[in-house]
Chain A
Amino acid sequence: MTNPFWGNIFHQENDPHNLKTEDFLVKIPLFANLTRKEAKKVANIVHERIYQEGEFMFKQGHPGAAMFIIKTGVVDIVLPRDNAPDIQLAQLGAGSFLGELALLDDSPRSASAMIKEEAFAYAFFRTDLNKLIETDPGVGSKILKELALIIGQRLKATNVQLTKAEK
């Protein structure tokens, strides 16, 4: 059993609730290459949001403007259907991020994100990323490079799944 006194001091870092925004962000693959100082710049421009169970983070068909990073809570990625139950595509927890394609353009969201358990999330907007690229190209290019890698990896994974499904 953890000592309630020392435990509160030494276990703070592992609890995402207690992490500072910049310390939390560097644990996310998209910002993994940033130094703490650079991550602080990103921390200054992300928006903190608290979502209640059953709320939508975003809905399918709406223009995408921001990527969301879940700090705490659980989010379901669902495909809504008319007159039929929604299809659940994935379930994301703390440390996951979603809607990253919105950082590239404002094409409509391909699925909806519904809150399963009360969630604390950061929203990172495309316009803020664009401004960051202009004012601090070093930080901007690091983020874009990671974004390209992540999208590439997800494309590969999708291809593998598609091949499996075809077989």
Chain B
Amino acid sequence: MKQEVSKARYVRRLSIYGLTAILLLALGAALLIALQELILPTIVGAFAAYVCRPLMGLLTRKGLDHHLAILVLFVLFGGLMMVVSDQVQSNMPDEMGKLELRTRIQYKATQRFNQAMGLEEDPKKGNFLYQTLGQDLQQAFDNFANSVMFNPSERILFELHAINAKADSAKMEVYYNYYLENIRNDQQRLGKNFIKEKSQEKADEAAQAAEGGGESRLAAIKHTLSLWLTTPFVFLFLLVDEGQIKKSLVSVVPNQYFEMILTMFDNVDLAIGNYLRGTLMECGLVGLSFGACLYLIGMDFQIALVIGLISGVVNAIPFLGPMIGAVLGAGYALIAEDISPLIPMVTLDSLVFWVIIAVLVVHVLDNVIFQPVVLGSAVSLHPLVVIIGIMGGGVLMGVVGMLFAIPAIVIFKVIFATFFDQMKAYHII
């Protein structure tokens, strides 16, 4: 009789737990879909809090009160976020800035292409390279030029902008000459397909579009800001937590597996913490050294800082990260107008070469010093897993997916490896 009662209770308990788990999972999935825009800011906040935990330990060990340590870290994190967003915003070109940039890119790229192909000396024959691969390379370059060239509305906008700015800017005069040269090249390249529209109607339309664009840009910034407000709060509340989250998670584990799960939790925490903190430090060092190298070879401090920052962030993507950094640096080197190098032999013409040297130096530093010292043998992944992971991340979530692919794989690897180790240690399997 007693056995029947306990069996019935067991079945009841199992069905209630099962039903609750299904409901919670469904609710979690629905929330994830509904609030998917908040996922990235939440992950960034949680990641920052996770990475800062040892720092908080250090501050409290130095005698700082726990709450004061949280406040110090919160202010530091908030300050860092503000500086980064300010730097990004101030270096982000507006609509006109983008047009200026495209003008420069097209003009400089055409100039470099002609130089490389020897078309400046002999516009018809070119050099050996042009004679051998000229047709294919010309086709590729034309496609590139078509992708950056202005459409009629953009031409009107740029001309209006040039008229307004020409009076007080010598730089604008240079860009306007680039623009005229680009137009000539476009006409030459496209022939009859190049239509020059310049009616007042179109100009008004374009100006209206620019105004509307400005408004929508403002709305987008507001929307992004409101989303990213989540980040400092997630950061703060996770730092304030003194283990309650872990305790409540562990409280649902049956007694039989309690010790095992908590040991697993701690091992995973240690391994992932070491990996993430190591990767962050490595990326920071790579970004800093690349930025410093770019500054040394004469790039503007702000530009070097921004390229270094982006290269540091994308360095988290194995193989592809350093390449993105190199493309960014070399891309800017191609369109640079003036440089002030601290190394005497660097010139504007050889800047791309020096950027490649800088990339190689940073790559060697990363492999010889940063990775062995900072990362050690934290978690190693097979290169094939890394490549498939990055491609999968890219397919699923674009650049963000590529950035988070490897940490996600590492987290799963550590969780599964520790889980099976502990199951064996506790004689469960």
Contact, CB under 8 Å: B250 / A47 = yes
Contact of B427 among A45, A61, A127 (CB under 8 A): A61
Contact A49 B255 (CB under 8 A): yes
B258 near A49 with CB under 8 A, answer: yes
Is A2 interfacial (CB 8 A cutoff)?
no
Q: Is the interface of A mostly helix, strand, loop or mixed?
A: mixed
| Cβ of A145 to closest chain B Cβ, rounded Å | 19
Any chain A CB within 8 A of the CB of B337?
A: no
Determine the residue in chain A with the shortest Cβ distance to B267.
Answer: A127
- Supposing A48-B251, A135-B60 touch, asked if A62 and B427 sit within 8 A by C-beta, the answer is yes
Q: Which residues of A contact B258 (CB under 8 A)?
A: 47, 49, 123
- Expressed in whole angstroms, the minimum distance between the Cβ of A100 and any Cβ of chain B is 14
A58-81 vs B, CB cutoff 8 Å, 1 = contact: the mask equals 110111011000000000000000
State whether A47 touches B426 (Cβ < 8 A): no
**Which range contains the number of A residues in contact with the other chain?**
20 to 34
- Chain A residue at minimum C-beta to C-beta distance from B426: A62
How many angstroms between the C-alpha atoms of A43 and B160 in the bound complex? 70
- Report whether B262 and A45 are in contact in the complex, using a CB–CB cutoff of 8 Å: no
Q: Are B61 and A135 interface neighbours, CB within 8 A?
A: yes
One digit per residue, 1 when the CB lies within 8 angstroms of any chain A CB and 0 when it does not, for chain B 388-429 equals 000000000000000000000000000000000000011100
- How many interface contacts (CB-CB < 8 Å) are there between A and B? 53
How many interface residues does B have (CB within 8 Å)? 20
**Pairwise interchain contact B262-A125, C-beta atoms closer than 8 A:** yes
- Complex Cα–Cα for A127 and B251 (A): 17
B243 contacts A45, C-beta separation under 8 Å: yes
How many Å lie between the Cα of A66 and that of B57 in the bound state?
A: 22
Please report which residues of chain B, range 51-75, place their CB below 8 angstroms from some CB of chain A when the two chains form the complex.
57, 60-61
* A66 x B262 contact (CB < 8 A): yes
Give the CA-CA distance A137 to B242 in the complex, in Å: 17
User: Is residue A55 within 8 Å, beta carbon to beta carbon, of the partner chain?
Assistant: yes
Interface-centre pick from B244, B255, B256, B259 (highest chain A CB count, 10 A): B259
Residues of A within 8 A of B60 (CB): 135-136
Is B266 in contact with chain A by the CB < 8 A criterion?
A: yes
Type the 1/0 row for A33-69, where 1 means its CB is closer than 8 Å to any CB of B. Answer: 0000000000011011101000111110111011000
Task: Return the contact of A58 from the options B243, B259, B425 (Cβ within 8 A).
Answer: B259
Select the residue from A47, A48, A49, A125 with max chain B CB neighbours within 10 A: A47
A134 CB-CB contact with B under 8 Å: yes
B263 within 8 A of A: yes
Q: Is the CB of A47 within 8 A of B255?
A: no
Q: Nearest chain-B residue to A102 (Cβ)?
A: B259
A57 — which chain B residues lie within 8 A by C-beta? 255
A-chain residues with CB within 8 Å of residue B192 when the two chains form the complex: none
Contacts of B262 on A, CB cut-off 8 Å? 47, 65-66, 123, 125, 127
Distance in angstroms from B50 CB to nearest chain A CB is: 14
Q: Which residues of A contact B223 (CB under 8 A)?
A: none
The residues of B that contact A134 with a CB separation of less than 8 Å are 57, 61
Bound: A161/B186 CA distance, A? 100
A96 CB to closest chain B CB, in angstroms?
18
| Contact across chains for A44 and B242 when beta carbons are under 8 A apart | yes
Of chain B, the residue at the smallest CB distance from A131 is: B57
Say whether A137 contacts B427, CB under 8 Å. no
The interface residues of chain B lying within 8 Å CB-to-CB of A136 are: 60
CB contacts (< 8 Å) of B247 on chain A: these are 47
Interface flags, B121-143, vs A, CB<8A=1, else 0: 00000000000000000000000
Q: Give bound CA distance, A66 to B426, whole Å.
A: 14
State in angstroms the CA–CA spacing of A123 and B251 once bound together: 11
Of all chain B residues, which has the CB nearest A48?
B251
In the complex, chain A residues whose CB is within 8 Å of the CB of B427? 59, 61-62
Tell me the chain B residues, 354-369 only, with Cβ under 8 Å from chain A: none
Q: Can you list 9 A-B pairs with a CB-CB distance of less than 8 A? A: A44-B242, A44-B244, A62-B425, A65-B260, A65-B263, A125-B262, A127-B263, A127-B266, A135-B60
